[in-house]
Chains A and B, each alone.
Chain A
Amino acid sequence: MSATGAAPALTGGARIGRRPGTLTVLRWELRKLRAQKRTYLGLGAAVVFPLLFVVLSASRHGHGGDSVFGSYVRQTSLATPLLLLDFGSAFLFPLIAALVSGDILATEDQNGTLKTILTRSVDRGQVFAGKLLAAAVYTTAGLFTALLTAFVAATIAWGLHPIITLSGTLVTSAEGLKLVVFAYLVYLIPMLTLAAIALMLSAVTRNSAASVVGALVFTLLEELTSIIPGLGGLQPYMLPTQFQAWQGFLRVPTDWAPIGHAAWVCGLYAVPAAVIAYLVFLRRDVTGG
């Protein structure tokens, strides 16, 4: 250590004039995500699964399962991203949503770095908001990476052609592409909801693995709840059901009912989860590290 060198800039008593904003926290949360393997596990899954999907679809004759768009899968590249939404809702997309959101607070506990960032010039609320936004950005990136991969791979395999909607009308490839993007945007609603639940588990349990697994188990239990005799009436309010709301965009005219329903049902899950996570984070004692 240089104990004798002059470093006048390091002393003198700084009074903070311009304080960092939440966007600064977000920028550095994203920078941290970019440096972590876990991030690439999720994004890698968002690339590998659509590619596998296209490869398997290309190698098989017949239609792509029971899905509505399965029969179009080799006719237009627009069908593959939609088919992926159907298949991915069981595990792939919940996993992508939970992987980072379940870790983003808990990892600070496990590394002992929470005390490091909470003794700077940003408030806890800002740190929480930065992490919440980073989880949302990552979740969005994961979903649209899957869309892009599926679309590009399928276009290479089968070309971009018009698609028949769920209403039986043929729409141009440009219009179809727009509908696919909107469908993904609607799909983002339950994805972000699951991310909020994973974030809450991350704040409460302070354990990454428990949070990720917990979020996945939560969706699984909801799925099971809806098939238990007598509980079928709950199905419209279960989170897995909201993963089907995107189909409203694939009807002509657009069926807004399932989309609106998904929005408020997801709000019932996401808002309390985010508020609980915030309050737990705000009030907790940072004793680790």
Chain B
Amino acid sequence: MRARGLVKRYDEIVAVDHVDLTVRAGDVYGYLGPNGAGKTTSLRMALGLITPTEGSVTLFGRDPQRDGARALDGVAGFVEAPRFYPYLSGAVNLRMLAALDGDGAGSRIDAALATVDLTDRARHKVGGYSHGMRQRLGIAAALLRAPRLLILDEPATGLDPAGMRDMRLLIRRLASEGITVLLSSHQLTEVEELCDRVAIIQRGRVVFEGALTDLKHTAANGYHLRTSDDAVALAVCRAQAGLHDVRDGGDGLQFSAAEPDVEQLSISLIEAGVAIRALAPQTASLEELFFRLTEGDGRADPVGTGALANGHAGGQAP
């Protein structure tokens, strides 16, 4: 999936503002953002449900606006809560959707129901399903299409802890079978656990897109140092070029620096006769980074020295 310059305006409101996204084959791609940030609107444009005001989305090279349903070949998923006909059973809903998919989708119904553990309730009307069952039926409906790209918008919302765990396991399994997954989620731990690449959107604009490791790396130029003599070490650090924000944190020293400067510091400490007990980068959790990006100034760098070096920062205009 490739979105370029995607814009959606509703009168004066810009719901999606020049969003660029690239989901590569094999990615488990997390799409993050606060409520109202524009995630669902972008996904609806990707699925051809909403016409972009500007820009385009292509799925396997096809544009839903130009190619219609053909653009969705190999693509499945749902935006917001999956919806079904409440007066039809789960099985009949799937039969109908399989008929609208064509090409043997009907033969996958039993397997799809089994995968989401709904075989026993398949004959019951969807109107009587719990929220979690509908979410699972949504996954089953997506699997009927034997997708190469699975777009899931908050699939774990409303599920109990066991349901969330099972959903994560299912997504992981599908990803391991080669399905590319685009996962929009508020569950940051879920994204951190499942995704290898992420995009973070705020107020309609992408403020970060790239590998999750890169995002974390941008925040990882903070270091924690414990030595045999912190007082001497503090003086060495302050004298060392390239180190910033050096401070005594109580249980050791903290500073930010680039890797070569850290290497030089370790040599300097030994030359000063100070033994290094621990020298570790301070990694931020995705949650911390998310809040920095969406509530702060749009930069992942915790100390303001190395913003979003590896990822694509499309966010906040200066």
A contacts, CB < 8 Å to B: 1-5, 7-20, 24-25, 27-28, 31-32, 35-36, 111-113, 115-124, 126, 283, 285-287, 289
The stretch of B95-103, B226-234, B248-256, B283-291 that contacts the partner chain: B95-103
The reply to whether B83 and A116 form a contact with Cβ atoms under 8 Å apart is yes
The reply to whether B49 and A113 form a contact with Cβ atoms under 8 Å apart is no
The stretch of B68-76, B261-269, B270-278 that contacts the partner chain: B68-76
The reply to whether B44 and A3 form a contact with Cβ atoms under 8 Å apart is no
Which B74-130 residues have a C-beta within 8 angstroms of A?
Answer: 74, 76-88, 92, 96-97, 99-105, 107-108, 111-112, 114-117
In-complex Cβ contact of B74 among A4, A15, A32, A111 (8 A): A15
List, in ascending order, chain A residues with CB within 8 A of B313's CB. none
B77 to chain A, nearest CB (A): 7
List, in ascending order, chain B residues with CB within 8 A of A19's CB. 69, 102-103
The reply to whether A1 and B115 form a contact with Cβ atoms under 8 Å apart is yes
A28-B96, A111-B86 in contact; A120/B49 too (CB < 8 A)?
no
In-complex Cβ contact of A32 among B73, B88, B102, B177 (8 A): B88
12 A-B contact pairs sorted by A residue (CB < 8 Å): A1-B169, A1-B170, A10-B144, A11-B146, A11-B174, A16-B103, A32-B85, A111-B86, A115-B78, A116-B84, A116-B97, A119-B77
The reply to whether B146 and A13 form a contact with Cβ atoms under 8 Å apart is yes
List, in ascending order, chain B residues with CB within 8 A of A286's CB. 44, 49-50
Q: How far is the CA of A126 from the CA of B47 in the complex (A)?
A: 17
List, in ascending order, chain A residues with CB within 8 A of B203's CB. none
The reply to whether B51 and A283 form a contact with Cβ atoms under 8 Å apart is yes
List, in ascending order, chain A residues with CB within 8 A of B78's CB. 115-116, 119
The reply to whether A13 and B96 form a contact with Cβ atoms under 8 Å apart is no
15 other contacts beyond A13-B148, A124-B68, with CB at 8 A cut-off?
A1-B115, A1-B167, A3-B172, A5-B115, A9-B107, A15-B73, A111-B83, A111-B86, A112-B80, A113-B85, A117-B100, A119-B77, A120-B100, A120-B145, A289-B81
B84 to chain A, nearest CB (A): 7
The reply to whether B69 and A121 form a contact with Cβ atoms under 8 Å apart is yes
Q: How far is the CA of A16 from the CA of B77 in the complex (A)?
A: 16
Q: Let me know if B147 is at the binding interface, CB within 8 A.
A: yes
Residue of A nearest to B139 (CB): A1
In-complex Cβ contact of A119 among B49, B80, B146 (8 A): B49
The 10 closest A-B pairs by CB, nearest first: A3-B169, A14-B146, A13-B148, A1-B166, A120-B100, A112-B83, A286-B49, A20-B102, A10-B143, A285-B50
A15-B74, A285-B51, A287-B44 in contact; A36/B146 too (CB < 8 A)?
no
The reply to whether B114 and A115 form a contact with Cβ atoms under 8 Å apart is no
Residue among A9, A35, A111, A126 with max Cβ neighbours from chain B (10 Å):
A9
Residue of B nearest to A285 (CB): B50
The reply to whether B85 and A7 form a contact with Cβ atoms under 8 Å apart is no
List, in ascending order, chain A residues with CB within 8 A of B69's CB. 19, 120-123, 126
Encode contact with A along B135-172: 1 for CB under 8 Å, 0 otherwise: 01001010111111000000000000001001101101
A28 to chain B, nearest CB (A): 5
B173 to chain A, nearest CB (A): 5
A288 to chain B, nearest CB (A): 9
The reply to whether B72 and A119 form a contact with Cβ atoms under 8 Å apart is yes
Q: Let me know if B178 is at the binding interface, CB within 8 A.
A: yes
The reply to whether A119 and B47 form a contact with Cβ atoms under 8 Å apart is yes
List, in ascending order, chain A residues with CB within 8 A of B169's CB. 1, 3-4
Q: Let me know if B57 is at the binding interface, CB within 8 A.
A: no
In-complex Cβ contact of B49 among A2, A17, A115 (8 A): A115
The reply to whether B117 and A10 form a contact with Cβ atoms under 8 Å apart is no
A133 to chain B, nearest CB (A): 15
Q: How far is the CA of A9 from the CA of B174 in the complex (A)?
A: 12
Residue among A1, A3, A16 with max Cβ neighbours from chain B (10 Å):
A1
The reply to whether A123 and B68 form a contact with Cβ atoms under 8 Å apart is yes
The reply to whether A9 and B85 form a contact with Cβ atoms under 8 Å apart is no
Residue of B nearest to A14 (CB): B146
Q: Let me know if B38 is at the binding interface, CB within 8 A.
A: no
The reply to whether B115 and A115 form a contact with Cβ atoms under 8 Å apart is no
Residue of A nearest to B77 (CB): A119
Q: Let me know if B30 is at the binding interface, CB within 8 A.
A: no
Q: How far is the CA of A17 from the CA of B82 in the complex (A)?
A: 26
Q: How far is the CA of A273 from the CA of B99 in the complex (A)?
A: 29
Q: How far is the CA of A8 from the CA of B104 in the complex (A)?
A: 14
Q: Let me know if B198 is at the binding interface, CB within 8 A.
A: no
A13-B148, A120-B72 in contact; A7/B111 too (CB < 8 A)?
yes
Q: Let me know if B48 is at the binding interface, CB within 8 A.
A: yes
Q: How far is the CA of A123 from the CA of B100 in the complex (A)?
A: 10
A16-B102, A289-B80 in contact; A1/B117 too (CB < 8 A)?
yes
The reply to whether B146 and A5 form a contact with Cβ atoms under 8 Å apart is no
